[in-house]
Amino acid sequence: MSEHTAQPGTPPWAAWLAHQALPLWSSAGYDPTRHLYHERLAFDATPLPLPHLRLMVQARQIATFCQARLDGVFNAADNALHALATVQARYWQADGQPGWVFAIGPDGRPSSTVRDLYAHAFILFAYAWAYRLSGEPALLAVAQKTVLEVESIFHAPHGGFADAVPAPDATRRQNPHMHLLEAYLALFEATADQFYLDRAQSLVALARERFISPRSGLLLEFFGPDWTPCHAYGQNPVEPGHLFEWAWLLGTYTRLNPTDKAVTALRHVAEHLYQSGRRHGVTHQLVRDGMMDDGTLTQTGTRIWPQTELLRLLACRQAEGGSTAEDSRLQTDLTRLFFADFAPAHLRGGWIDRRGPDGTPAVDHMPASSLYHIYGAAKAHLPPPEHA
């Protein structure tokens, strides 16, 4: 059974997590019959049935509830570990082929057997946190086998990996590589095994060499088969939220691998990504959806996840003593806007995932997948757990 572990007087993030968000998504958001998480809820917390249950969503929820237990915030870990066992049985090699299927249907059978790198990154992330929680060697064995499957299934020329097999197009994307880096760092932190850090180091090098434009210093999203940017300068999409996400990941990498010869350069890269995102991607204290690699803002709507990526980064900068007065003001303002506009009290732990350029809600449901981002921001604002 779930239990609340935050005490009265704890910071707003902790209280909101322990008494609203995590109870909601571990109860209304969890299907105890199938031992899987729902993809989305209506604003009244009613589960909304969908034809596909994606691996990525299951993995994100599992990782989040394992973290919440480890952090002493909320305990619904038994359900998370049960869900992981179900996911392993239903998604891993479910069609008799290596790797994890993209989604299953309501009958529990594969509804999409595509092998998706993004989804594989998140199941590795889930295994990292589940292993850290339980210490069960069998979980680590599955993670190691999955890493080897990733390197076989998604092998591609010119470094990095294919986005999916079969490939939907010839475009290569940085995003799944970003989450694979996140998974490898989580696995290294859980195991101290150089096996994972070596792979993380390779992805960091790929980012410096390919993803980050030498002209603008910005992280591009889309590339050709040889990692050439898809468009001429000024026409390549950049997501401000990913600038903040990469800045945080590079900070995590340099913390975990301080002897890397590139540490100083990586810290400069991370700072440039942060400052560029602040300068070009934030208006009226909110992170906007998109811009081009010349800094031109092109998409002025707002989603919840970029706000959380900036909030996490600001909290980490503050904790490390690198926060300016301007950073602190933005952190205060963005926190206020998060709870006023994206996670209003009447949703009782739910959220409005997307708002249009004029600020009006642009969704009619609450996606479960946002919890992973939200927990990351909240965690950075919490005091360290007593057992840490």
Cα distance between residue 156 and residue 350, in whole Å: 40
Q: Are 216 and 229 in contact (CB under 8 A)?
A: no
State phi, psi for 165 to the nearest 5 degrees: -135, 120
Query: How far is Cα 358 from Cα 352, in angstroms, rounded to an integer?
Result: 14
Half-sphere exposure of 258 (CA within 13 A, CB side): 1
Domains of the chain: 3-381 (1.50.10.10)
In one-letter notation, the amino acid at residue 139 is: L
Local confidence pLDDT in tens for the 388 residues of the chain:
344 444 444 458 999 999 999 999 999 999 999 999 999 999 999 999 999 999 999 999 999 999 999 999 999 999 999 999 999 999 999 999 999 999 999 999 999 999 999 999 999 999 999 999 999 999 999 999 999 999 999 999 999 999 999 999 999 999 999 999 999 999 999 999 999 999 999 999 999 999 999 999 999 999 999 999 999 999 999 999 999 999 999 999 999 999 999 999 999 999 999 999 999 999 999 999 999 999 999 999 999 999 999 999 999 999 999 889 999 999 999 999 999 999 999 999 999 999 999 999 999 999 999 999 999 999 999 987 765 4
User: What is the spatial distance between Cα 212 and Cα 217, in angstroms, rounded to a whole number?
Assistant: 6
Distance CA(225)–CA(132), nearest Å, equals 36
28: left (phi over 0), alpha (psi -120 to 50) or beta: alpha
Measure the CA–CA gap between 376 and 326, rounded to whole angstroms.
Answer: 22
Runs of H (alpha helix) within 71-226 = 77-91, 117-134, 137-153, 175-191, 194-206
| Pairwise CA distance, residues 37 & 230, whole Å | 37
Q: What is the pLDDT of residue 12?
A: 87
